[in-house]
Amino acid sequence: MFIIASAMQKDFHNHATLEMLKNIPDMTWTPSIPHRFAGMSEESLRGMLLPKGKQAYFEKTTLVGAAPAAFNWQDAAPECMVVRDQGQCGSCWAFSSVGPFSDNRCFSKKDATRVIYSEQYMVSCDSNNLGCNGGYLTMDQYFLKKTGVPTDKCVSYKSGSKGVTGKCPTTCDDKSPIVLVKSTKFEDVCTNEESIKVGLTQGALQTAFTVYSDFMYYNGGIYQHKSGSVEGGHAVTFVGYGEESGVKYWVVRNSWGASWGEKGYFRMIRGINDCGIEDQCFLTSV
C-alpha cells in the first residue's frame, strides 16, 4: 500500500551508497541522487513501483524480418514522443500501456497529431488491476482491447499528487460524454533480441523489469545492475535500440518526468536480459 512519507521515515538515498557506486570499475552509467527523488523516503519511493513478483504469462510471438543496426522513435517520429510523470502513484503499469498506445496511433497516423490518452481512466476503471498499488501488463492490454480509454483532455491525470486511485468517472472532467478508443490486438514479442528489434520498428513496446536499489541512483549512460537489493518492479516503454563504445543498449522511456535520467529516458544494456527487461514486452496494434 502507498504510504505518505513523514519526517520520521528514513530517506532512500544516502551519500555512502552513492560513493560506493561511483567507485565500481568499468561502469557504463553515471550514478547520482536524482533531483526527482531527493529527500524521498524509502516507503514513498517503493510506493511508486510494482509489487515484487512475476507478471502473468502470455503466449509469445516471434517477429522476423530486417531490422536496422540502430533505431529510435525519438529520431524517426519526434513529434509523437511525449514523456509523462506518474507522480506519487504506483501507476507505471498504466503509463507503460497507454503511452505506447498513444505513440502507435501517432506513428500510424490514426491520429492527425500526437494525442495523450488517459492513464487516469485506466488507473481508476481497470478492476483487474490495483490502481496506485500496481498492475499487470497483460491485464493492461486486455483493458485497452476490450474497454479502451478516452483522451487525457477528457479524463485528466489526478492520482499523481496524492497517490489516490480515485473512482471510475462516468463523464469527462467537463461533464461531456466519454468516448473510448480501443486497440485492435496485442502480442508479446519478447522471444529474443531480434524479435524485439523488429517489433520496435513497428511501434513502441510496453515492458517491465526488476528494480534494484542502484537503479534509483541512475543519472545517465547505459544502465546495468551492479549493486543493491530488489525494491520492486517497474513498467516502462521500449522506444529504440543502439550501441555505444561496443555496448549494445535499449532506449527506454520512463514515467518519472522529463527532468529524470536522459530527458525522461534511460538506456539499458541489451541482449543479456538484465533485470528481466527482455522477459515480456507487448506490441499494441491500433
> Catalytic pick from 92, 132, 154, 281?
92
Radius of gyration of the chain from its Cα atoms, rounded to whole angstroms: 18
How far apart, in whole angstroms, are the C-alpha atoms of residue 186 and residue 183?
A: 8
Burial of 73: CB neighbours in 10 Å, binned 0-12, 13-18, 19+:
buried
- The yes-or-no answer on residue 234 being catalytic is yes
Residue 18's H or E segment, with its range, is helix 15-22
- The Cα-based distances of 70 to 8, 43, 78, 200, 202 in angstroms read 47, 38, 16, 10, 14
Quote the Cα angle for 270-271-275, to 5°: 70
Alpha-carbon dihedral angle through residues 157, 161, 167, 170, given to the nearest 10 degrees: -30
> Catalytic pick from 89, 104, 254, 281?
254
How far apart, in whole angstroms, are the C-alpha atoms of residue 183 and residue 146?
A: 8
How far apart, in whole angstroms, are the C-alpha atoms of residue 255 and residue 84?
A: 5
User: 499487470: which residue's cell?
Assistant: 136
Task: Tell me which amino acid residue 276 is.
Answer: G
Quote the Cα angle for 83-31-27, to 5°: 115
Cα of 123 vs its chain's centroid, Å: 14
The strand pairing partners of 243, in sequence order, are: 248
Contact 214, 225 (CB under 8 A): yes
Question: Mind telling me the catalytic residues?
Answer: 92, 234, 254
